[in-house]
Structure 1
Amino acid sequence: MAVIRLASGQSHIVPRDKFLAQLQVFLSDDSSFEVEISPTLESHRRPNSNLVALRNPQGEAEITVLPGHSGSQFISGTSLFATLSIASGAGGETRLELPAFEVGGLRASTILRVIPEGDQVYIQVGETGGDGSLDAGSAGVRSALRSSIDRDGLPQGQRRDLTLLVDVTSSMNYSTSPECFGAMFTFAAGVLSSIVADRRVQLLTSSASSTPELLQGAESIQALGQREFERREVGWGVELSQISPDEALVVISDDLPAEVLKFPGMVHLLSPRPPLLPQGITATVFDGQMIKAVTEHNDTTLRAPTRIMYDTLTRGEK
């Protein structure tokens, strides 16, 4: 038996006249699920079975997995695993191993598309839903957001470059506890994983000597909560003209400095205390309740603030 591992968005081609397959699905929490398949693809599934037989594609078809027993959404942190075994003649088969799908907080996940063209069938993997390297805290934040927006994030081609701007003044040092500082980065990583994906993310500090530092995805953002920033500066010296107005700007600060107010693009502030905000700029305040919600993965409490940050940073996108 040949085994082929596919990544998100990848395709595998098989002869159309030999398309006879069996899909196997598992959820990490062993909960029940339903499978919806376009009528252009013949399918059969026994009740409560994790196996689905597939054959005779007559047009483009999608295979979508939904929570079982009328559940409105997958439980936070749930992963979906699937394989597709395809008969290859003479008793042999090819097994396609799909990547893990991060489905927590979603109402449905399209895991495969079956596209017949001429005498071939293209089997295309759906979007896996995120960054498997996120820790439990950031993954919980992402699940809360996805349950609010009812999708994984922005489609490819609509995602944004982003600058994360961190206040390193002495005021920030006195106003922010280590727990609060860490919660801010955990929250930022969870929300931004649905916005930036494969786009460029850079770090700047408020220091005049700050130079852009390229971050490798959302997991690098969550790691910043453990970094020892020297928060001893007096005032802001960073030059924000180096940031494109087309980018999203996330500011971690105990105040909203005049330099940021001049930025023409989209801005969201993460702050340990309520700031005075002009129209068009939003904020998440990390008081004791918010910090607890992040550390305990409280989906109900996190849903509204994650949506506010998402809506601000993706303004104008659909």
Structure 2
Amino acid sequence: MNVIRLTSGQYHDIAGAGFTGRLTIGLTGDLDFEVETPGMESHRRANRVAIRNPEHDTEITVLPGYGHTQFPTGTKLFVALDYDSAGGTAHHVELPTFEVGGLRSFPVAAVLPRAGTVRFIAAEANSDSILDAGSAGVRSALRSSIDRDSLPEGRRRDVTVLLDVSASMQASTSPEAFDAICAFAAGVLATASGDRVLRLATSSSAIPMQRLDGVEDVRQLSSREFPRREVGWSMDFARLDPADALVVVSDDMPAEVMRHGGAVHLLTAREPVAPSRLSHTIFDQHLIAAVRDQDAAALAVPSRIMFDTLTRGEN
């Protein structure tokens, strides 16, 4: 058997005038599902779906089964395609694991018939599969609100997380609130920025700007140690890329940041002194509990506000 493992967005060409394949679909928790295969013949038996003869470009879409309007938080989707080539060789094509929690449907693959071949393209898969439960709950709530996994390529934005490490920030923000802020930011950025560049800058000029490996590094900011002896902001704001969206974690918004030409969102544990037009999220006890308990209803609106601010409503 020839085993092919596709990565996110990768394709596999199947040679031959006709096409017959067998999909195997599974969800964590043995959840039931529905599958849509427009433009081709299909027959389902349990978790296997026979497909053949696609008539035009189409997508294979998996939906939650009976009793669910969306996939539960933390749900992972597994898909494989088996087919035999004209010479009788068996092929097993594995798609990447898809994180589908909070989504109402997910198009797992595109099927493009061409002269003499059928191109099978794996869907884009998130690379943030190691998010913890709190961040995954925020991401799930947001994806339910926008009804999609992430922004398409070209609309995702590079983001700089601007972290206040001043003494006043430490005095005004409890460890519980800071942990919730980091989990919330990671969950939203998993959808808003996808695989784009993430940077970390701090209020201190003594700490150099650094590139983060992914949203999981944003989540882990709450466990990192930073010197918190400085008063106010000493950083050089000219270092900030004017094209980046800014996520500011602080007890208030510096005036220099408010003059930033791009999208800016403040995550704070107290009401900001800045004007009310400032896009911000306040982490009171209610929101802290919502992050901890993965309360999708309570997280939907604040996560959507931050998402719309960072992406300027492009969804």
What TM-score do the two structures reach when normalised by structure 2?
0.96
Cα deviations by residue, 1:64-109 (Å, 9 ceiling, x for unpaired): 0011115221111111111111122465410111111111100100
Deviation at 1:209, TM superposition (A): 2.5
| 1:226 to 1:107, Cα distance in 2 relative to 1, 3 A | same
Partner of 2:173 in structure 1? 176
Shift of 1:18: 4.8
Residue 245 of structure 1: how far off its partner (Å): 2.4
Task: Tell me the distance in 2 between the aligned counterparts of 1:90 and 1:211.
Answer: 59
Distance (Å, rounded) in 1 between the aligned partners of 2:278 and 2:16: 53
Say which is worse superposed, 213-222 or 201-210, in terms of deviation: 201-210
Equivalent residue letter for 1:77: G
Of 151, 155, 167 in structure 2, the residue corresponding to residue 154 of structure 1 is 151
What residue in structure 1 maps to residue 160 of structure 2?
A: 163
Structure 2 counterpart of 1:23, which letter? L
| Alignment: residue pair count | 315
Unaligned regions of 5+ residues in structure 2, if any? none
Report the counterpart of residue 63 of structure 1 in structure 2. Answer: 60
User: Are the counterparts in 2 of residues 251 and 267 from structure 1 also a CA contact under 8 Å?
Assistant: yes
Q: Of the candidates 231, 235, 240, which is equivalent to residue 234 of structure 1?
A: 231
Alignment correspondent of 1:145: 142
1:253-285 deviation per Cα after TM superposition (whole angstroms, max 9, x unaligned): 011222222222111111011113436521111
For residue 13 of structure 1, what is the amino acid of its counterpart?
D
Q: 1:60 deviation in Å?
A: 0.9
Q: Is the 8 A contact 1:281 1:312 kept in 2?
A: no
Give the match's secondary structure for 2:4. Answer: strand
Q: Deviations 1:103-151 (Å, cap 9, x if unpaired)?
A: 1100100001110111111000012245212122211111010001111
> Secondary structure of the residue that 1:157 maps to in structure 2?
coil
- Partner of 2:123 in structure 1? 126
Q: CA deviation at 1:305?
A: 0.6
RMSD: 1.5
Alignment of 1:212-291 (within 5 A): 212-278=209-275, 280-291=277-288
1:16, CA displacement in angstroms?
A: 3.0
1:41: which partner in 2?
40
Q: Which residue of 2 aligns with 1:25?
A: 25
Q: Residues 30-78 of structure 1, C-alpha deviation per residue, up to 9 Å, x if partnerless?
A: 121110111x2111114xx211101112211210001111522111111
> Who is 2:85 aligned against?
88
Partner of 1:204, secondary structure, is: strand
Distance 1:65 1:71 in 2: 13
Change (3 A) 1:239 1:280: farther
Contact (CA 8 Å) 1:240, 1:263: kept in 2 or not?
no
Equivalent position SS for 2:266: strand
Quote the Cα distance in structure 2 between the aligned partners of 1:9 and 1:289: 39
- Contact kept in structure 2, 1:79 and 1:103, CA below 8 Å: yes
From 29, 51, 69, give the equivalent of 1:72.
69
Q: Which stretch shifts more, 13-22 or 118-127?
A: 13-22
Q: Percent identity?
A: 51
One-letter identity of the residue aligned with 2:134: G
AA in 2 matched with 1:71: H
Unaligned 5+ runs, structure 1: none
